[in-house]
Structure 1
Amino acid sequence: MARPARSTPGCHLDPGRGCGCGAPALISSTEPTRWVASTDGTPIAVFSSGDGPALILIHGAAGDHTTFRVVGPMLAETHSVHAIDRRGRGASGDASEYSIEQEFEDVAAVAMALANESGRPIDVMGHSYGGRCALGAALRTDALRRVVSYEGAPAAAGVSYHPAGVEERLRHHLAANDLEGVLVTFMREVVGMSEDDLQAYRRDPIWPIRVAAASTIPRELDAEADASASIERLGRVAQPVLQILGGSSLPVFRDATLALGERLVNGRVVVIAGARHAAHHTHPAATVEAVLGFLG
């Protein structure tokens, strides 16, 4: 495991207007730069900025492209950054049925479109579930050159990221159209967010965007059991993979990251000291340092 990356103190959880370290706020455009049609025809919205080698950014559960509103502009200083809305939220479309393999195909479609334009393969960074989508896409196309995954490793067989019964609690809230209840339950029981951080998060201007996407959480938890997203399957990725791990994240994230790292033929791990599951918000400078140190 690599030496812990330098942390950035003074940042707040998922800040809506940038963070205390002086990092810029969000990729400002509210309109997609383009849509890319996935294999099943679903339009995937892409928000682009910057110039240089292309880097796709893939958000995690209950998010959209604004997840990268802090680190996106920082990465756009050296790269052309393409943050997507995953299917089922924001400006992207959806289908009547869902599987995580569709998400793999979505990312692969965006990568192939960008690679066809630039004439060279594309790098990708994914957070959490988005990291899993990035790894799955890397198995489907050689248009992806390198993968950065922030705590996106699947749990080992017989291990779960979430406590028993949480799926039923999430579906109960969803059936009652209580999307905020879905999100709060997910953040508290799956992500492991403290009550203080959760209350601060609920006061943040970004909270309504997260609530709007909360209906997609249960289907993504269900997809964790899919064989196509297993540690055995995603461990076959041959491209270089950087896994980023928060030094203060829940043990299940650490264990999964290390287990996947043992399977990858070209993988490395960087730990960001003091960070948990969202260092791209709380420790943006350290996150960008780790990413650029890998991508060069």
Structure 2
Amino acid sequence: MEKKTLSRDGTPLAYERFGQGPAVVLVSGAMSTSATVVPLAAALSDRFDVCVYDRRGRGESGDTAPYAVDREVEDLAALVDVMGGEASLYGISSGGALVLEAVASGLPVGRVAVYEVPYVMSEDASKERTEYTASLTEALRGGRRGDAVELFLRLTGLAEEMIQGARQSPMWAGMEALAPSLAYDDAVLGAGSVPRARLASIAVPVLSVSGGASPTWMSEAARAVADAIPQGTYRLLEDQTHRVDPHALAPVLAEFFT
């Protein structure tokens, strides 16, 4: 990406814009760069001015220690400024949690959509998240980036043989490069459960979407997000998983953002 802007703390953020129309900023999830949401940006570009960006510590964007969720909120504010001072927001997975926190913090936006924010919905899942956080912190502190990636893939439910296969693949180096940002996504998700009191303060319309082929708890979490927000709406996309097809999602977002 050729364009860059500076966040409040001086961190350079790489971004790209597609199309013309009302402004929309897309936010990616864990273990990803802006490239993961470019297909969605392309699908929306016939009706919107869409911005994608590399979150701090990823891709062509910089990073500034120490990390704090507030810094990522400031990053998003910098991108909204680039788009003219107000935009609608979309975030997938932990990127959705960042979007929700930014809006709850008072970022001026039009409408907000999120896809399958992975809030935990059971005591067992909450315990697993707590153990993951501790193990992830230990692995990253020890410089064991590969182990950190393994922990994340295991948390997502990927089979052990697939994890070991991934370690032998050409993509592994890129995944290790993104490993430190796993701590950022973990921080964005907080305790892991749906932050109902925080979400109740959001005063703009929010669309929370899940896929019909995803695990049941993801749909439960998506519905809980919508229920917690005064102007929240829930939508189920049939046959979709956590890797949602941008061509299935784009018409839903376009209708909501218009």
TM-score, length-scaled by structure 2: 0.84
Highest relative contact order (Cα 8 Å, sep 6+), 1 or 2?
A: 1
8 Å CA contact retained: 1:154, 1:231: no
Aligned mates of 1:67, 1:162 — CA distance in 2: 27
1:187 matched to 2:157: no
8 Å CA contact retained: 1:155, 1:230: no
Q: 1:255 aligns with which of 220, 227, 251?
A: 220
Q: 1:170 aligns with which of 136, 140, 160?
A: 136
The 1:291–1:208 alpha-carbon spacing in structure 2 relative to 1, beyond 3 Å, is farther
The 1:98–1:176 alpha-carbon spacing in structure 2 relative to 1, beyond 3 Å, is closer
User: What secondary structure, in the 3-state scheme, does the structure 2 residue paired with 1:160 have?
Assistant: helix
| Equivalent residue number for residue 138 of structure 1 | 103
User: What secondary structure, in the 3-state scheme, does the structure 1 residue paired with 2:52 have?
Assistant: strand
1:52 matched to 2:21: yes
CA deviation after TM superposition for structure 1 residue 83, in Å: 0.4
Amino acid at match of 2:200: G
- Count of aligned residue pairs for this structure pair: 256
Identify unmatched segments of 5+ residues in structure 2: none
Aligned mates of 2:209, 2:144 — CA distance in 1: 33
Aligned mates of 1:84, 1:101 — CA distance in 2: 17
Q: Percent identity?
A: 27
8 Å CA contact retained: 1:179, 1:214: yes
8 Å CA contact retained: 2:27, 2:96: yes
| Equivalent residue number for residue 11 of structure 2 | 42
Amino acid at match of 1:181: D
1:215 matched to 2:180: yes
Identify unmatched segments of 5+ residues in structure 1: 1-30
Over aligned residues, Cα RMSD in angstroms?
3.0
The 1:215–1:244 alpha-carbon spacing in structure 2 relative to 1, beyond 3 Å, is same
| Equivalent residue number for residue 204 of structure 2 | 239
1:101 matched to 2:70: yes
Aligned mates of 2:102, 2:197 — CA distance in 1: 15
Higher fraction of helix: 2
CA deviation after TM superposition for structure 1 residue 176, in Å: 5.2
Aligned mates of 1:103, 1:220 — CA distance in 2: 10
Aligned mates of 1:231, 1:204 — CA distance in 2: 40
The 1:211–1:274 alpha-carbon spacing in structure 2 relative to 1, beyond 3 Å, is farther
1:230-276 superposed Cα distances (whole Å, 9 cap, x missing partner): 33213321111111112232343223222221121111111122322
The 1:167–1:135 alpha-carbon spacing in structure 2 relative to 1, beyond 3 Å, is closer
User: What secondary structure, in the 3-state scheme, does the structure 2 residue paired with 1:70 have?
Assistant: helix
**Matching of residues 1-296 of structure 1 within 5 Å:** 31-35=1-5, 37-116=6-85, 121-141=86-106, 143-152=108-117, 154-155=119-120, 160=126, 162-175=128-141, 177-189=143-155, 191-194=156-159, 208-225=173-190, 230-279=195-244, 283-296=245-258
CA deviation after TM superposition for structure 1 residue 149, in Å: 0.7
CA deviation after TM superposition for structure 1 residue 225, in Å: 2.8
Aligned mates of 2:175, 2:39 — CA distance in 1: 16
